Amino acid sequence: MKALCWHGKKDVRCDDVPDPRIEDPRDAIVKVTSCAICGSDLHLYDGFMMGMEAGDILGHEFMGEVVEVGSADHRLAVGDRVVVPFTICCGECEQCRRGNFSVCERTNRNKALAEKMFGHATAGLFGYTHLTGGYAGGQAEYVRVPYANVAPVKITNGLTDDQVLFLGDILPTGWQAAVQCDIQPTDTVAIWGAGPVGQFAIRAAVLLGAKQVVVIDNVPERLGMAEAGGATTIDFDHESVIERLNDLTGGKGPEKCIDAVGMEAHATRSLDSLYDRAKQAIMLETDRPHVLREMIYVCRPAGTLSVPGVYGGLIDKLPFGALMNKGLTLRTGQTHVNRWTDDLLRRIEEGQLDPSFVVTHTVALEDGPEMYKTFRDKKDGCIKVVLKP
Amino acid sequence: MNAYRPATNAARRRQRAVRATARGIGWLSIGVGVAELLMPRTLAGAAGLRGREGMVRACGVREIVTGIGILAARRPGPWLWARVAGDALDFATVGTRAGRRGNRSLALAAIAGAAMLDAGCASAIDRIERRGKPPLRNYSDRRGLPLPPNAMRGAALKDFEMPPDMATPALLAPWPPTAAIL
């Protein structure tokens, strides 16, 4: 079959690889009908995440049709149409039973490696480094889905792939980012990053009743889409983010701040960004935490910081004194996708939200390597790429 | 409608300052170029490049051309970057070819200072010019919501249950309590 494989920094190829097969009675094989390139795939593409090996199949946003099921999978049947969450979960461990699916205790096959890196292992993820299990991803014609009797979301209505595909990652991620802010009707929610997760976080914040939603980015197309969703925009190339946020909140700062950027912040006019780039270049820092610094500084005391943006390693010069003295609440984590999928699918069915608005490019799987570059460089108005195997 | 908004007053002031700096660099470039054309021996001697007057004159021509480019072009950014490249060339030339006579260190410091000014101004001009470009694609109709955002504000709350583990502790909740506002 064809699959997009990682071969090194900025080197993704469409390769012929062996078809997946059932390895465990709880497995299923899914024929992928749509998959997407995620912003966090770019961390792999740019070589910022450790634990990748040449030939690894990428992709953790995918959906398709079940073509084979293991003997112990009594939930799925051949022919079912499913969206597969990017977090692989067993549904039985203590964390899964509490709804903390992204820190499932069983599904990471490389626990020892993850424990060395993070202290404890987190859940297995599709197509996302050997730190998270080294599972083959879904940017392929077929994919093996482990624990398939737990997480996959059956789609039984007539919704299109573009409307439901993002239930597997970025829609619940934007939603959880807003939910864990516990938005109140008096709140200003500031969101750094108007990429796909930021776009969904904007819609989630509006639907959850934020008084004001402000988004910070510098790409005109993304800011335009953010305005369409109800956000006031700040272009950080041309305005002081801190001054403007203070202006918009009567000098008090936003109550809730969301980091939808993560480890590769591109702040062009800040000294701390230059510092981060220099340290990153000489391998003294892995991530660039400009957004975290800015959020801590500008957030209203006793406010909440929500971090759906992916960080992978070590950061430097984080103003923890400000975080502590202002009494800020910090909420982080990979998304517990299955906590939200039923509720969000219902909202899509009822027409409260149509996630397909975020798709800007739809191409064949073979064009994936080129689209990685286009998406990374934010060229051609690219916000979200859907691949059709 | 899209995110492409007119600049604020403060931003306009900054933009005027950047463009004035670019014009200043343009005139300075022409002035240095004329000096290099007319006084190559003096300048070559000062930089420790005695005997390379022809090269100094060539640099003078380059300086004049880039200076005119900066002053005349509607988009001076590329001309400023050309100056940065020229600065790098000058730095390498003085650094590797200057003899012991003349003040090589002073010349290198002057070139480095000019390069920093040029690069800073070029970056600032780039940002202004990017702002001047309309978005490649217009996504202003990509709402994702069935009604305008103001009409959808809070629409999910009627059947949304806040997970207790993600709720804000009562003492950190807004004051007066939100329930009273609702």
pLDDT one-digit tens code per residue, A239-270 = 889 999 999 999 999 999 999 999 988 876 67
Mean pLDDT of A107-132: 94
pLDDT of residue B180: 41
CB contact under 8 A, B2 and A220: yes
Q: Work out the pLDDT band at B2, boundaries 50, 70, 90.
A: very low
Give this prediction's pTM: 0.79
Mean pLDDT of B136-151: 94
Query: Which chain A residues touch B11 with a CB distance below 8 Å?
Result: 238-239
> If you ran DSSP here, which 8-state letter would residue B140 be given?
T
Contact with chain A for residue B170, Cβ under 8 A: no
Of the listed ranges A37-41, A88-92, A165-169, B41-45, the one predicted with least confidence: B41-45
Give the chain A residue whose CA is nearest to the CA of B10: A239
pLDDT of residue A174: 98
pLDDT digits (tens, 9 = 90+) for A132-155: 999 999 999 999 999 999 999 999
Give how far A240 is from chain B: nearest CA, Å.
Answer: 9
Contact with chain A for residue B116, Cβ under 8 A: no
pLDDT of residue A68: 97
The answer on pLDDT for B174 being more than 70 is no
B-proximal residues of A, 251-270, CB under 8 Å: 255, 268-269
Q: How far apart are CA A193 and CA A291, in angstroms?
A: 9
Chain B interface test: which of A94, A208, A242 (most B C-beta within 10 Å): A208
pLDDT digits (tens, 9 = 90+) for A278-308: 788 788 888 999 999 999 999 999 999 999 9
CB–CB contacts below 8 A, A to B = 151
pLDDT digits (tens, 9 = 90+) for B50-95: 888 899 999 999 999 999 888 877 678 889 999 999 999 988 888 8
Closest CA to A36 of A4, A67, A13: A4
The answer on pLDDT for A1 being more than 70 is yes
Mean pLDDT, chain A, rounded, equals 95
Q: Work out the pLDDT band at B3, boundaries 50, 70, 90.
A: very low
Give the chain B residue whose CA is nearest to the CA of A98: B165
